[in-house]
């Protein structure tokens, strides 16, 4: 036992005994279990080791859990493919092969289409708004209810802020230029573009640059200036479009639900607080590093905004996609209803506060 663990245990045990004055053995035992038991958790991610912002973010999360618990909560972070392949972290945690994972919620829409909404919506809520919906607008309750069916307990584990629309080899002047265009774009954004004539393609991160450079694909989206620049996309495509399809993607720290329930309330509180801290930090880190990277990209690439006719068609296509998904799944319909209720509540206030102010500020 480490010195601090010993001291905590001893101090708490002594206090409990002083308060209770009797049932010595029982009280001491229960307090010991709650406060001093060292817990080790295995957490797998969908990112390479120390991947900028996402990977380093989860590294810091684990450090903070150790720090805040005085070392009694020891979360070991495993980068992708060490314990389990990147996109099998959900199943492995669900089956209790590992205790937890850090990933993007949009990866799991094959499990339940409703999960894509928890990850963010094209032309929808920003990161700040998504977090507000999840925490105050009923989103978390639905997310936890639906994840419980997979024996999982989710927490918001970071967010990207607004993402860019992607890199294109040719300029997009109207929606007609999208016909037959091969683009790497996942999720609901890909589904919307498919209805506009794009051929959406899924590629592992390691293959995107080469595919774009060789012309196997005509376009790709990734994240934003900072992470896109690390990929070197500016060397393979000259047009960089502003975003619409991932205005506030949510990442997750998700634990096996039985493992979560067995943790002491102290460890649960520490994990919750560290995940909140990680989310706030990640949003600010993305903002800061994207601002710097954008400055470096200016003059190297042409920053473009998609034409109005394309965005008008994208809005129509999105409405169709949401209607179709709602018909196919009651869960999707229910989560969408909650999401839309919050969006409608939020919009008038956002219009006269943030939106209005940004226009005034210019």
Name the residues that contact Ca ion, by CB under 5 A: 163, 246
Cβ contacts of residue 173 below 8 Å, gap of 6+?
307
| Spatial separation of the C-alpha atoms in residues 224 and 283, rounded to whole Å | 12
In the complex with Ca ion, the residue whose CB is nearer, 139 or 165, is 165
Neighbouring C-beta atoms of residue 349, cutoff 10 Å: 10
Q: How far is the CB of 312 from Ca ion (least distance, A)?
A: 22
| 246 in Cβ contact with 119 (< 8 Å) | no
Q: How far is the CB of 221 from Ca ion (least distance, A)?
A: 5
In the complex with Ca ion, the residue whose CB is nearer, 246 or 252, is 246
Q: How far is the CB of 241 from Ca ion (least distance, A)?
A: 12
Cβ contacts of residue 146 below 8 Å, gap of 6+?
112, 114, 115, 331, 335
Number of helices (H) and strands (E) in the chain: give both, helices first: 15, 11
| Spatial separation of the C-alpha atoms in residues 225 and 164, rounded to whole Å | 8
In the complex with Ca ion, the residue whose CB is nearer, 142 or 185, is 185
| Spatial separation of the C-alpha atoms in residues 133 and 139, rounded to whole Å | 6
In the complex with Ca ion, the residue whose CB is nearer, 54 or 84, is 54
Q: What CA dihedral angle connects 44, 46, 47 and 48, to 10 degrees?
A: 70
Q: What is the DSSP letter of 187?
A: H
In the complex with Ca ion, the residue whose CB is nearer, 72 or 103, is 103
- The upper half-sphere exposure of residue 219, i.e. CA atoms within 13 Å in the direction of its Cβ, equals 26
Q: How far is the CB of 55 from Ca ion (least distance, A)?
A: 16
Secondary-structure percent of the chain, ordered helix, strand, coil, rounded to 5: 55, 15, 30
Q: How far is the CB of 323 from Ca ion (least distance, A)?
A: 24
In the complex with Ca ion, the residue whose CB is nearer, 106 or 147, is 106
Q: How far is the CB of 219 from Ca ion (least distance, A)?
A: 13
In the complex with Ca ion, the residue whose CB is nearer, 79 or 104, is 104
Q: How far is the CB of 223 from Ca ion (least distance, A)?
A: 5
In the complex with Ca ion, the residue whose CB is nearer, 106 or 133, is 106
H/E segment holding residue 216: none
Q: How far is the CB of 146 from Ca ion (least distance, A)?
A: 23
Q: Output b/e per residue, 163-173; b: 16+ Cβ within 10 A.
A: bbbbbbbeebe
């Amino acid at each position: 036992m480490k010195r601090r663990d010993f001291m905590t245990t001893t101090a708490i045990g002594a206090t409990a005994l002083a308060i209770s004055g009797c049932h010595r053995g029982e009280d001491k035992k229960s307090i010991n279990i709650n406060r001093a038991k060292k817990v080790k958790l295995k957490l797998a991610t969908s990112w390479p080791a120390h991947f900028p912002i996402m990977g380093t973010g989860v590294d810091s999360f684990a450090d903070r859990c150790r720090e805040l618990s005085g070392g009694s909560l020891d979360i070991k972070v495993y980068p992708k493919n060490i314990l389990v392949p990147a996109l099998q972290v959900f199943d492995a945690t669900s089956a209790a092969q590992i205790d937890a994972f850090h990933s993007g919620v949009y990866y799991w829409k094959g499990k339940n289409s409703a999960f894509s909404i928890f990850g963010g919506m094209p032309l929808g809520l920003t990161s700040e708004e998504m977090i507000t919906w999840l925490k105050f607008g009923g989103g978390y309750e639905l997310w936890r209810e639906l994840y419980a069916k997979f024996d999982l307990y989710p927490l918001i584990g970071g967010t990207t802020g607004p993402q860019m629309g992607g890199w294109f080899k040719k300029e997009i002047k109207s929606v007609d230029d999208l016909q037959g265009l091969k683009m790497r774009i996942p999720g609901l954004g890909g589904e919307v573009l498919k209805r506009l004539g794009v051929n959406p393609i899924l590629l592992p991160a390691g293959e995107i640059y080469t595919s774009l450079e060789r012309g196997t694909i005509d376009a790709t989206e990734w994240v934003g200036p900072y992470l896109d620049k690390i990929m070197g996309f500016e060397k393979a495509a000259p047009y960089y479009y502003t975003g619409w399809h991932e205005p506030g993607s949510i990442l997750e720290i998700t634990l096996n639900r039985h493992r979560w329930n067995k943790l002491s309330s102290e460890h649960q509180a520490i994990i919750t607080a560290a995940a909140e801290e990680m989310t706030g930090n990640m949003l600010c880190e993305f903002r800061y590093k994207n601002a710097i990277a954008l400055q470096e990209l200016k003059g190297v690439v042409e920053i473009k905004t998609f034409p109005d006719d394309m965005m008008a068609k994208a809005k129509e296509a999105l409405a169709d996609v949401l209607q179709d998904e709602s018909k196919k799944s009651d869960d999707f319909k229910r989560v969408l209803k909650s999401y839309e209720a919050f969006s409608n509540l939020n919009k008038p206030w956002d219009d006269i506060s943030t939106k209005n102010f940004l226009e005034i500020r210019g």
